[in-house]
Every structure is written in structure tokens, then in C-alpha cells.
Amino acid sequence: MYKLEKRGAPMLAAGVAAVALAMLLPGAPAAAQSASPIKIGVIAEATSVAGSSIPQAAQLAADEINAAGGVNGRKIQIISYDDHSSAAEAVRAFQRAATEDHVNAVIASYISEVVLALEPWTGRLKTVMVTPGAASDVITQNIAKNYDHLKYTFHGYLTSTSLADQVCDAAKDLLVKELHMKTAVVMSEDAAWTTPLDAEYLKCLPKVGLKVLDHIRFSPDTTDFTPIFNKIEGEKADVMITGISHVGTQPTVQWKQQEVPIPMLGISSQATNSTFWNDTNGATEGVLYQAVSGPGVAVTPKTLPFVAAFQKRFGNLPSYCGYTAYDEVYYIADAIKRAGSTDPDKLVAALEKTDWVGTIGRIQFKGRDTANPHALKIGGSTIPGLMLQWQDGKQVNVWPPKLANGTLKFPKFIKVGAAN
């Protein structure tokens, strides 16, 4: 069930070596070879479209850091576990990681239900955990309620509420101002992460000028979206605002097959992976999805070198949680350097002071006196967020304007007036 990942020598794209050298820490390579390694457990959905990038990106980061001398003379060792999208398997992996493999920190999962199941164990086993992709606000709300026990959990991705706010900001510019849209239907899978997402959608969409005509929640096991699409068409909505992650390719494929004339914009986790075009046989053409980074978008000087290195090594582009997993290995290493220790309490204190420029922006965590301790700060000079669109087999960023490398383009069956 569990497998220690072993990778070959790192193949670094131009520019990545310079980034890695910036992480060069005291200690000669010879010392790094003899010192005990820093162990980071990676618990992920290794065979899923989005989750597969997590262990790959973590290993890439570790190899870069090791090539630059390690952390205080110690190598980083990634120990990878596939939880098969199961909370029960993830808990068993976490227990093994902490008690048998003696990891110093864990990077875990893009599924909120999995991270929520692991969260109590971070306190019981005093093991730091950072999630690269789970979004539920409850993760950090739990920390606020029981800080001393749950302070070992850090939210390395945006909360659902923050995701919804970024979607609304993009919708205001792209749909209301540019296309003069007025109505929307919220369509999300029924999951822990979409409960706060949808609640915020219902608040922020009317504020940006989109009247919500309906709110549809469907089972992630749904295979036939015909009744849902027929209902939305009957309501004459201008746009579908989505919250899709675990349902797979079905809604996207059937949207194209049935030529539903209403665009989709929102969260579509699997659409962040470059394999999604082939996974849907091109049905994703025109789909708009929120992301923290994207191919060809230089959010920071580290973004494009990482994408190039990842593609060269693994043959595809990373999903959204590949960017965050890569960053997390780096700022965990940085925190260990600053703490001068892998002691969990000292590591927590160091992580709380994180100020690290990664691939998705400037990483800083909210304080313990906030409603969401250890959630990422967003906006301003921290994490800008993007809205990308699938166009002709490529992921093109269309928002915000200062980072855009393309403009809106829809397939012919989409009816958006002047946009066609």
C-alpha cells in the first residue's frame, strides 16, 4: 500500500538551479551525505488527475534542495504514500509516517475530508502537516477553536471562502463588465470543501452584479448531468459558476457533448492539470477555472522555471496542488533552517513566521488571533490568484489583466453575444 518513492538525478530547467542555490544552507555535501536525512512524508491521491502532481512536485523540490547542499548539511528524503482518495487509508499512512518512518513533517492531500480526518492526528502525534490542496474553511476554523492541540496543521492552499471571492472578482471583470452577464446558477458537488464555497458564492455573486437563479448541489458519484443541464438551460442562466473537483470528467464531457450553450466558470480542480485536455478528449475547450498558477504565467520569478523543470522530468504540466506541494517542501526546509531544529513545536513557531516567495506568490500565514489561523494570506502582495481558460488544447490565463496572456474565447455552441 505504501511505497517509498525513489527518483533519479534531478533535471533542472534554466533558472531553477539559481532558485535552488538560494536555498543553499550551511553544511558541505559530504556532511549532508553522512547526516541523518530530514524526512517529509507525502500523503496524496497519487493516481488521480489533480493529486498525481503532489508527490512528483515534492520530490522535484527535495532533489533541488539536496543538489544545492541540503538543509544545514542534511538531505531531504521524501517518503510517499498513496491514500487512494480514502480518509481511512490516509490516517493509517499518517500513523505509519509519524510512528514508524519517523517523518519530521507531512504534506497531505487535496481532499478536504482527508485533511479533516488527519487534523486531530497532528495533535495526537505532534507532527506538522501542511495541505497542498484541501480548501474547507473548517480546517483552519478548527485550529482557532483548539490551537494548542491543532497548531501543527497549516493550510498551504486557499480556503474555500477565499477561492469563492477570487472567482467573484474574476466574474465581475470578465462576465459582468466585459460580457454584460446578469444571471448565474451555482453548480457544485456535495462535499466538505464546497459548503463554505457555495455559501460565499451566494453572498459575493450578487455583489458583483450576477443574480443567482438557482443553487444546485449534486453527488460526486453523479454520472448523468442531462437533467441538471436541462434545468439550467430552462432557467436561461448566463453562466454556470462551478465547484467541481472529485466528480471527474463527466460534467465537462457531457457539457460539450450536449452543447450546453452556457459557459462554465469557477473551481474545476482537475482542469488545472495539463492532462485534462486528453482526459476529456478536448471537451474542456472554453472552460474557465480559478488557479493559483498556470503555464506561461510568471506569478513570481520561480513559477516558470518550476513548470519547465516539472514538464521536462514528468512529461506534463503540474496541477494546482503541484505548485503548492513544491513550495511547501521549500518553506518547510526554510523553517527548519530558521528553527535550527526539527522539534515540532519549534517548527510550528518557525512556520508561523514564514515569509517565502514561492511559485504561487508570497507565502505568509494568518495569525492565531484570526478566525482562520494558519490559512494563507491572499491578495495585495501575497497571492493574486488567476482565472485560466482552456483554448485549443492550452491553458491560457485571462485574468487579472496584469498577468493575462490571452483573452476570452468560447466554442461556437456557447452563446455569449458579442464574445462570439
- The 10s digit of each residue's pLDDT in 16-60 is 444 444 444 444 444 434 589 999 999 999 888 778 999 999 999
The DSSP secondary-structure symbol of 361 reads: S
239-244/183-189 β-pairing:
parallel
Mean pLDDT score across all residues of the chain: 90
As to burial, measured by CB atoms within 10 angstroms (0-12 exposed, 13-18 middle, 19+ buried), residue 36 is exposed
Could you please report the per-residue DSSP string of 150-181?
Answer: HTTEEE-S--HHHHHHHHHHHHIIIIIITT--
pLDDT of residue 274: 85
Q: Quick check: 298 pLDDT over 60? A: yes
Provide the whole-model pTM: 0.83
Instruction: Give all strands (DSSP E) within 65-152, no chain letters.
Output: 76-82, 105-108, 128-131
Average pLDDT (109-130) is 97
Over the stretch 238-251, which tens digit does the pLDDT of each residue have? 999 999 988 889 99
Mean pLDDT, residues 336-358 taken together: 97
> 86 to each of 89, 117, 278, how far by Cα in Å?
5, 10, 26
Mean pLDDT of 169-192: 97
Domain architecture of the chain: domains with CATH: 16-158+298-363 (3.40.50.2300), 161-291+385-419 (3.40.50.2300)
pLDDT band at 380 (very low <50, low <70, confident <90, very high): confident
What's residue 194's pLDDT?
96
**From 149-153, 177-181, 318-322, 332-336, the region with the lowest mean pLDDT:** 318-322
Average pLDDT on 212-234 reads: 96
pLDDT greater than 60 at residue 301: yes
> Does 164 have pLDDT greater than 90?
yes
